[in-house]
A = this chain, B = another copy of it.
Amino acid sequence: MYNTAFRVLEVLEASDGPVSGEQISGSMGISRSAVWKHIKELKGMGYEIEASQKEGYRLIKKSNRLLPYEVQKRLRTNFIGRKMRYYESTPSTNAVGRQLAGEGEAADLHGMVIVAEEQTGGTGRLGRSWVSPAGGVWITIVLKPGIPIDHVFMVTMAGSVAVARAIRKEFDLGALIKWPNDIYIGDRKVGGLLLELFAEADQIHYCLLGIGVDVNISPGELLGVKRAVTSISAEMGHDVDRAAFLARLLREFESRYLLIESGEYEALTREWKSFSSTLGNRVTINTMKATFEGEAIDIDEFGALIIRKDNGKIERVIAGDCIER
């Protein structure tokens, strides 16, 4: 159904001027009333299409939704995002991923990207809520990585590097990674990642890498959020092309993910370090069991943060909150 509509769209995109209903109908082998129906469908998805009795249909403006068609048109990956699921609104893209993985073969879902225009029940780490209004990029990448479970944080690291690189390349903004899973521009948070996994003790059945980036969102819409936040549009002074950004993000992610699969943890860790806002800083760490201060001096191949405390003692933190001073 959607496929034919997008074939009509392709005809409009390929033409500089207007295209008559007769031309579309003839070239595609569908009736003129079918053409009209698909044009209506495209308008419903946010495409601005001018229709004149005399000249025919003309594409004025593409949809500003994050439609799979728009993303995949720009996508240069082998498997990440080749399958997509799109939701105008859903509680949480990770929840969709859990359901899909529960129903089917995780191997068939490997690389699938779930996109939502808005999430009504988005969550961050440890069940914290994650405000996800329309205009952001809220996605989940479904993966079945063949890596030991104790290296699973590498997947988050690959995602963090991909988000930071995509922001830098598309918008020339100095995005940084804050351990364990936040993306900052300056001292304001612009995105975050959430990794969930289902595993046997020694084999990962599937991973869900949730990624959220405040893209075309006015700061006012994020007022409920406690910490200092920003968005790409706020930094740039105008809205940006989310589809191009997401296509770039997925491409950056795929190449880093392949580093993990081939065991090149060091290359990925090195890149992560080069974007880190955390290393070299004085930090306060809150873990499930303790709170302490020190200097963040390194990250190891399991994604653990290495802290030198004031008494010189070295602590390895695999899980916790990190407040940078």
Contacts and interface: CB of A to CB of B under 8 A. Distances in A.
B201 A198 contact: no
Contact of A125 (B125, B148, B202): B202
B198 A196 contact: yes
A71 interface: no
Nearest to A98: B102
Interface string A122-155: 0001100000000000000000001011101100
Please tell me the size bucket of the interface on A: 20 to 34
A156 interface: yes
Given A98-B102, A102-B98, A201 B319 contact: yes
Contacts of A98: 102
A59 interface: no
A149 B146 contact: no
Contact of A181 (B126, B180, B198, B201): B201
Contact of A203 (B126, B199, B303): B126
A200 B125 contact: yes
A18 interface: no
Contact of A288 (B146, B156, B197): B146
Nearest to A194: B200
A318 interface: yes
A171 interface: no
Contact of A319 (B181, B195, B203): B203
A320 interface: yes
Interface string A173-196: 000000011000000000000111
Nearest to A202: B319
Contact of A197 (B126, B198, B303): B198
A288 to B, nearest CB: 6
A263 to B, nearest CB: 8
Interface in A221-272: 263
B203 A180 contact: no
A47 interface: no
A288 B148 CA distance: 9
Contacts of A125: 200, 202-203
B203 A195 contact: no
A6 interface: no
Given A102-B102, A150-B302, A126 B318 contact: no
Contacts of A181: 201
Nearest to A153: B201
Interface in A85-136: 98, 102, 125-126
Contact of A202 (B149, B199, B202, B318): B318
A196 B200 contact: yes
Nearest to A203: B126
Interface in A302-316: 302-303
Interface of A: 98, 102, 125-126, 146, 148-150, 152-153, 156, 180-181, 194-203, 205, 263, 288-289, 302-303, 318-320
8 contacts: A102-B102, A125-B202, A126-B200, A149-B150, A196-B199, A196-B205, A197-B199, A198-B198
